[in-house]
Amino acid sequence: MPATRKLRLAAMADLHCREQSTGAFQGLFAQISAKADVLLLCGDLTDRGTEVEARVLAHEIAAGCRIPVLAVLGNHDHEAGIPDRIEQLLVEAGVRVLDGEAVELGGVGFAGTKGFAGGFENRVLEPWGEQTLKAFVRETLDEAMKLEGALAKLHGASRRVALLHYAPIRGTIEGEPLEIYPFLGCSRMVPALENFHVSACFHGHAHYGTPQGKTGQGVPVYNVAYPLLQRHTPDRPYRVVEV
């Protein structure tokens, strides 16, 4: 890809591929391949994190997609306790899975990690009290450090894009029940997005959220959960952004 031109990024998340999903996504991946230069998959790619589901999705991607694919895993991809196997099957299908890593394509740098829960802004959960609670917050802090480290590797890229599964801002989960806001993401990811002047951040997880928002300093954030986009743009259940 020439490094001087803009890239068309297609992004989606929460496919929740099942054993019965053979043939469900091939046509969509083919459509995306004609409209974008890179496909970004932002987690919950499988429904229960099983090897069979991952094999089905890997086949769908290999059969339908003709452009580079970058991905992060989501909480559903961890459900069966074999995220490494899920990643391996996707890699064998040509997908680059990011977990604190970075890659450059056409002059654009991509950094990705799963992210985690913990709440937003002045309601963010603090590491205080029981060890279990401290471990919960530590998971979020570790994910934030992964994102920061991955973005730091992209010092040669003029444009940077972040992939997450959990939401980094409250704005793109609005529409979900208030009671579950703390479990949909955490604003501890925001400093990395702003400090490295990210051009766009994509996430999923919030099926009933809001398609687009921005950080306090104006970094665009896109919720690309497949169920959400199916309701908003049923003829195009993915987001295309040019960077």
Angle 96-85-40 from CA coordinates, rounded to 5°: 25
| pLDDT score, position 119 | 97
Residue type, position 97, single letter = V
DSSP result, 22-63: TTSSHHHHHHHHHH-SEEEEES--BSS--HHHHHHHHHHHHH
If you search the block for the tokens 């090897």, which residue do you land on? Answer: 51
pLDDT of residue 156: 87
Query: What is the structure's pLDDT at 94?
Result: 97
> Which domains does the chain carry?
8-242 (3.60.21.10)
**DSSP secondary structure letters along 174-190:** BTB-GGGGGGTBBGGGH
Residues belonging to the chain = 243
* Residue 3: predicted pLDDT: 54
Per-residue pLDDT of the chain (243 residues; tens, 9 = 90+): 555 689 999 999 999 999 999 999 999 999 999 999 999 999 999 999 999 999 999 999 999 999 999 999 999 999 999 999 999 999 999 999 999 999 999 999 999 999 999 999 999 999 999 999 999 999 999 999 999 999 999 988 989 999 999 999 999 999 999 999 999 999 999 999 999 999 999 999 999 999 999 999 999 999 999 999 999 999 999 999 999
- Give, in degrees to the nearest 5, the angle at Cα 93 between 86 and 234: 85
pLDDT at 83: 98
Q: How far apart are CA 90 and CA 57, in angstroms?
A: 8
Other Cβ atoms closer than 10 A to 2: 7
Q: 197 by DSSP, 3-state: which?
A: coil
**What pTM did the predictor assign?**
0.96
- pLDDT at position 1, please? 52
Residue 196 has what pLDDT?
97
